[in-house]
Every structure is written in structure tokens, then in C-alpha cells.
Amino acid sequence: MNWLYEGKPYTELTKGVYGFIYKLYLDDGTMYIGKKDCYEEVSKPIKKDLSKRTGHVEFFNKLVLVNPETNYIAVSRKDKAALRKKGIKATRQTYEKLKSESNWLDYESSSDEVGNRVVIKKEILELAPTKRSLTYLEVFWQFKCDVLNEDNNYINKNINGTWFKSNLL
């Protein structure tokens, strides 16, 4: 089943899109509003030949504590000076940040509310250019559609983990 955006099938990402707000129509007549990131970021240690992997974004360093008893333990940059004062050797491990397309095309929500219900229609309400705007737009659409109102057919139990259906009244 394809996503619908503005009444048309949406199968390829538009340039500049980070994610989208969606509405699922379920077989029991209920609906659910959520968000989906279209990209995933993963960090991996650099390759020994220093070549870039597919989806390369950048290289970055992490401070690593070298301790023979516990092997390597990652610590923050702020701890570097404190470690050296204690006489503990610290080094930096170089990592590669990778960005790849997520499973957005086949996605049908990770929410417990949707559970084992059958999705009969997947609609994209709005596209978001950044992660921050994606979160804002999710909250905006959930309030706009009044998903916490008992009279509506929405199964959302909360908005942004702050407003809960169970303790509003």
C-alpha cells in the first residue's frame, strides 16, 4: 500500500524533505496521527583504508579511555583534562557518520496504539524539512485534529508525551 500525498501516490522523496506527518486509517474506523523520519543516521568506526562508505556525512572523533582492565570505555570531551591529571591515557577514536534512507515507504507506525489493527489507508498530511519542524508539525496536527477528545475516532493516547488522554479531564 502506497502513501497518499495531496490525493496522489507518494513513492519518492522530494528534495529537502527530512520526514512527514501522517494519518493512518484503520479497519475498525479509527485513525492515528504520527510522524516518520525519512532518514537514519548511524555512527561506525572508520575503515582501515580510510575510504568513505555509502551515505557518508562526516568523520568525527570520540574520546576513548584506555584502561587495560576494562578495555576501551567512551567518555566525553570534558573528561579529557581530568583523565590526564589522574595519569590515565586517553585517545580519540575516529568515527564516520552515515545517513541512509529509512523504511518510510513500507512504514505503518511503531505505536502500540496501532498494534495489530489493519491499516486500510496511509495519508501524508505535511512534509517537514528538518527534525525540529517535524516534531512541531506532529504536535500541531494532533492538536488541530483534537486527537485527545473522546468523541473523535483517534486512538492517540498522548501528544508529545506531555498531554495524555487519561488525565485531561
> Rounded to whole angstroms, how far apart are CA atoms 169 and 160?
18
- Tens digits of per-residue pLDDT, 93-151? 788 899 899 999 999 888 888 888 899 999 999 999 999 999 999 999 999 999 998 88
The model's pTM: 0.74
Alpha carbon 77 to chain centroid, angstroms: 25
Q: How many domains does one find in the chain?
A: 2
The domain of 118 spans 3-38+104-167
- Tens digits of per-residue pLDDT, 47-103? 888 888 888 888 888 766 665 555 555 566 666 677 777 777 667 778 889 989 999
Give 46-82 as a DSSP string: PPTT-PPPTTEEEEEEEEEEEETTTEEEE--GGGHHH
Domain end marker among 74, 99, 124: 99
> Rounded to whole angstroms, how far apart are CA atoms 74 and 93?
9
- Tens digits of per-residue pLDDT, 90-103? 677 788 899 899 99
| CB neighbour class for 119 (10 Å; exposed up to 12, middle 13-18, buried from 19) | middle
φ/ψ of residue 166, rounded to 5: -70, -25
Same domain, 63 and 114: no
Domain end marker among 82, 99, 116: 99
Q: Strand pairing partners for 159?
A: 163
Domain end marker among 99, 125, 149: 99
